């Protein structure tokens, strides 16, 4: 298992040296590092397969089969909560939908009277003609995917209204749906038999042999189900889809700006998470051969949530382990412990010890686990993000190497726009926030292969201009044309797809993802892998992923040895300047024709500023057009072909840099009225004076 071979060296708290010693002495060292995960998976699989053979206790195998169902549910909830960051408090509803879907088509619950209409279904073996009624006998194996599909449809149905909601409100709405589903089930006894529970759900059959009530075959189906879901979760997580989900989880706005269609991918997460639960519901109800609404109420949703919190939100092996441990605790350990306490009570002749029933306190334990994990170990037992070896002192203080020539051949074609229209043409753009006019009738043209700088005092509307152009803010009036097509009403991810990428003034990276993952998300719109491609690793998808990785590494190399050695580091551990570089790299990964940089050198020292200015210049040399918001006028002068000055939302000047910097109105806007008369003390406006100097 992936978790085990990482566990030892990471613990830095108690007995770290003991751990380190045991780790070095352990047999794990005999196995080559890249083989360890496979060996671990093989061992776990083997253990799971031989368990019922070695341990021939039907009740224990039954508990294990139930535990596997909850592991499958935890995997499904993990897609929604762990990957996409959408807290679902009513997840058991999909479990219920899957269960009742199978229940409806494989029990004595619904029995319409016989008519010739059913003849073809009988021929297919889906229904049986008993007396003068129809009896549904749809196969368990057919119903597994069908239930998953039905649950997925409900996932989309329940997910759609929540798309605009903030995290906690989303949770409440899902809780509402989660409560409504079992109540509807209870109150529609014609389909569900209400609180009495479904009648005679058919056991699965395999080649004519019925599973019956023996736990072992169910156990093996459960193992297979969990194995398939682990596999699917892993494949999805490491694909374009998983990256899009994690981007939404980390920063929704940035995800949209980097080309992720939020609506589509959130609904996809709901649908796939629900599908997992739907299949599991079918498995569970087939095993139990009945279903009551109480099996799907709020406490069940909370229990699954506790499992993934305990195991590690977002961590595939973590949630499986979390679910198994908590289920085993419930069905084995607490019972044993109660027995031991009873025995102790008899021994000591203490009455209350003999009456303790710890199983009843399982919800108390859930509550304690939830609070303790949240307060002291939010990443769970097996965290989703693994720690990467820190750079050595030598690597950290390494001489900055910038000379590495960028792979010109690869990048050139991507960046260049050669149409007849100006690349970007903004006309009469007005943006209003309530009573405040943030931009008033601004016009701006960016010819292909040019660098335009937008300057102006704080609050003059520069960032709003970027937001309006990239679709994050809807302008009140005016037009924005990109490469000849209007884009002012397009959502951000479409704007990125058209070839315009941006950075943010206050850096919006995906903080818990690595440098490489961040940059890979920038490529989202240029890749095509869908769910089948991600799951099956089709050759096309594999090639696409490998090329994307290669391309992203090339882009990282544009910054010399600044980012390349840190490719696998989580971006929140990076220095401020490096985070700015990652954000630019992420934007470049989308192969934009136009790059919008919002104060790229803010917070950098003079040497770093110079370095970045040089890199921007070389990008421009590759044919990339750039719009730059910048306060440091020396950067502006060295890069820009044209400068636009905004003040209070209006364009007050435009022209080549050295003309604009002498413009009276510009100086007044920056330094105030008196400065333009030539008698302002320099100290009165430190930022402006530094900029103008």
Q: Which is closer to other proteins, CB of 177 or CB of 211?
A: 177
State the nearest-atom distance from the C-beta of 304 to other proteins, in Å.
Answer: 12
Structure token pair of residue 525: 């719109």
| E-state strands within 309-391 | none
**Token match 């050295």: residue?**
658
Q: With respect to other proteins, which residue has the nearer C-beta, 179 or 545?
A: 179
Q: Which of 226, 369, 454, 604 binds other proteins (CB under 8 A)?
A: 369
Does 431 bind other proteins (CB under 8 A)? Our answer is no
Q: How far apart are CA 445 and CA 427, in angstroms?
A: 8
Residue 668 structure tokens: 């007044």
Pick the closer one to other proteins by CB: 89 or 675: 89
Beta pairing class for 642-647 and 451-455 = parallel
Least separation in angstroms between CB 341 and other proteins: 15
- 210 DSSP β-pair partners: 205
H-run or E-run covering 451: strand 451-455
Helices marked H in 523-604: 531-536, 539-557, 576-589
Q: Which is nearer to other proteins, 248 or 604 (CB)?
A: 248
Determine if 56 is a binding residue for other proteins (CB under 8 A): no
C-alpha to C-alpha distances, 381 to 222, 312, 378, nearest whole angstrom: 23, 6, 9
Q: What residues from 82 to 101 belong to the interface with other proteins (CB under 8 A)?
A: 85, 87, 89
- With 0-12 CB in 10 A as exposed, 13-18 as middle and 19+ as buried, what is 30? exposed
What's the closest the beta carbon of residue 139 comes to other proteins, in angstroms? 33
Options 201-209, 333-341, 366-374, 413-421: segment touching other proteins (CB under 8 A): 366-374
Q: Confirm or reject binding of residue 371 to other proteins (CB under 8 A).
A: yes
35 vs 169, beta carbon nearer other proteins: 169
Shortest Å distance, C-beta 87 to other proteins: 5
Nearer to other proteins, 248 or 480 (CB): 248
Cα separation, 278 vs 99, whole angstroms? 7
Q: Which is nearer to other proteins, 166 or 389 (CB)?
A: 166
506 binds other proteins (CB under 8 A): no
| Cβ pair 74, 319 in contact under 8 A | yes
Interface characters, 143-162, with other proteins (x: CB under 8 A): ------------------xx
Q: Please check whether residue 134 is in contact with residue 269, taking contact to mean a CB–CB distance below 8 angstroms.
A: no
Verify binding: residue 543, other proteins, rule CB under 8 A: no
Comparing CA positions, the residue from 77, 82, 471, 91 lying closest to residue 249 is: 82
**Can you spell out the DSSP letters for 120-144?**
HHHHTTSEEEETTEEEE---HHHHH
Q: Which distant-in-sequence residues (6+ apart) come within 8 Å of 260 by Cβ? A: 244, 247, 248, 493, 521, 524
- Residue bearing tokens 């005679």: 200
CB of 487 to other proteins, least distance (A): 22
Tell me if 87 sits within 8 A of 166, measured CB to CB: no
Smallest Cα–Cα separation from 211: which of 624, 269, 220?
Answer: 220
DSSP lists the bridge partners of residue 209 as 206
Closest distance to other proteins from the beta carbon of 169 (Å):
5
The distance of closest approach from Cβ of residue 371 to other proteins in the complex, given in angstroms and rounded to an integer, is 4
- 455: number of CA atoms within 13 Å, CB side? 30
Q: Does 377 bind other proteins (CB under 8 A)?
A: no
Which one, 146 or 303, has the nearer CB to other proteins?
303
Tell me the site size for other proteins, rule CB under 8 A.
41
What are the start-end ranges of the E strands in 185-277? Answer: 205-206, 209-210
Q: Does 298 bind other proteins (CB under 8 A)?
A: yes
Q: Which residues in the 185-204 window bind other proteins by CB under 8 A?
A: 186-187
Candidate list 214, 294, 336, 363; residue touching other proteins; CB under 8 A: 363
49 lines the binding site for other proteins (CB under 8 A): no
Does residue 359 bind other proteins (CB under 8 A)?
Answer: no
Indicate whether 572 belongs to the interface with other proteins (CB under 8 A).
Answer: no
Residues that bind other proteins (CB under 8 A): 85, 87, 89, 161-162, 164-169, 171-173, 176-177, 179-180, 183-184, 186-187, 252, 298, 302, 305-306, 309, 360-361, 363-364, 366-371, 374-375, 378
């Amino acid at each position: 298992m992936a978790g085990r071979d990482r566990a030892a060296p990471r613990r830095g708290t108690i007995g770290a040296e003991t751990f380190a010693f045991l780790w070095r002495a352990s047999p794990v060292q005999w196995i080559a590092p890249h083989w360890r995960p496979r060996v671990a998976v093989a061992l776990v699989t083997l253990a799971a397969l031989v368990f019922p053979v070695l341990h021939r206790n039907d009740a224990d195998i039954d508990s294990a089969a139930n535990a596997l169902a909850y592991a499958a549910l935890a995997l499904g909830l993990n897609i929604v909560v762990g990957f996409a960051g959408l807290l679902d408090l009513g997840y058991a509803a999909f479990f219920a939908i899957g269960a009742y879907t199978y229940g409806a088509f494989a029990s004595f619950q619904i029995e319409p009277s016989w008519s010739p209409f059913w003849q073809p279904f009988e021929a297919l073996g889906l229904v049986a003609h008993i007396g003068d009624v129809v009896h549904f006998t749809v196969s368990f194996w057919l119903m597994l995917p069908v239930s998953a599909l039905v649950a997925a449809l409900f996932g989309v149905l329940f997910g759609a209204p929540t798309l605009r909601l903030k995290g906690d409100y989303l949770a409440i709405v899902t809780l509402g749906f989660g409560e409504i589903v079992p109540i509807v089930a209870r109150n529609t006894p014609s389909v569900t038999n209400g609180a009495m529970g479904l009648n005679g759900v058919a056991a699965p059959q395999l080649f004519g042999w019925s599973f019956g009530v023996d736990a072992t075959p169910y156990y093996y189906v459960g193992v297979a189900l969990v194995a398939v879901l682990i596999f699917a979760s892993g494949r999805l997580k490491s694909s374009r889809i998983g990256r899009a989900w994690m981007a939404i989880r980390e920063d929704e706005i940035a995800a949209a700006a980097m080309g992720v269609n939020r609506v589509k991918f959130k609904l996809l997460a709901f649908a796939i998470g629900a599908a997992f639960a739907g299949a599991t519901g079918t498995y569970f109800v087939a095993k139990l051969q009945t279903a009551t609404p109480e099996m799907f109420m709020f406490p069940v949703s909370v229990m699954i949530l506790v499992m993934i919190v305990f195991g590690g939100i977002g961590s595939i092996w973590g949630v499986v382990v979390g679910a198994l441990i908590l289920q085993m605790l419930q069905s084995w350990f607490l019972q044993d412990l109660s027995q031991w306490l009873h025995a102790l009570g008899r021994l000591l002749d203490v009455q209350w010890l003999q009456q303790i029933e710890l199983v009843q306190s399982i919800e108390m334990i859930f509550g304690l686990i939830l609070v303790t994990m949240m307060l002291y170990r939010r990443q769970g037992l097996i965290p989703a993000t693994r720690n990467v070896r820190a750079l050595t002192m030598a690597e950290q203080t390494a001489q900055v190497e910038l000379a590495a020539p960028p792979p010109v051949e690869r990048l050139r074609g991507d960046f260049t726009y050669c149409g007849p229209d100006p690349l970007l043409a903004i006309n009469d753009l007005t943006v209003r926030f309530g009573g405040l006019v943030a931009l008033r009738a601004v016009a701006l043209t960016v010819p292909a292969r040019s660098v335009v700088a937008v300057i102006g005092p704080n609050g003059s509307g520069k960032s709003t201009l970027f937001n309006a152009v990239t679709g994050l803010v809807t302008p009140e009036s005016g037009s924005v044309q990109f490469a000849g097509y209007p884009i002012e009403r397009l959502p951000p991810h479409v704007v990125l797809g058209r070839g315009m990428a941006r950075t943010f003034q206050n850096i919006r990276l995906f903080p818990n993802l690595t440098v490489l993952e961040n940059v890979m998300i920038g490529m989202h719109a240029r890749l095509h892998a869908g769910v089948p491609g991600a799951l099956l690793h089709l050759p096309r998808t594999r090639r696409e992923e490998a090329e994307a990785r290669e391309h992203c590494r090339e882009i990282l190399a544009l910054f010399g040895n600044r980012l390349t050695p840190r490719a696998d580091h989580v971006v929140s551990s990076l220095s401020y300047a490096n985070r700015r570089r990652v954000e630019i790299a992420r934007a470049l990964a989308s192969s934009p024709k136009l790059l919008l940089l919002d104060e790229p050198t803010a917070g950098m020292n003079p040497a770093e500023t110079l370095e970045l200015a040089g890199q921007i210049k070389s990008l421009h040399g590759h044919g990339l057009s750039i719009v730059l918001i910048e306060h440091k006028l020396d950067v502006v002068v060295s890069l820009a072909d044209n400068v636009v000055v905004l003040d209070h939302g209006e364009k007050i000047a435009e022209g080549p840099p050295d003309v604009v910097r002498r413009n009276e109105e510009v100086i007044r806007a920056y330094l105030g009225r008196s400065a333009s008369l030539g008698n302002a003390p320099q100290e009165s406006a430190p930022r402006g004076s530094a900029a103008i100097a």
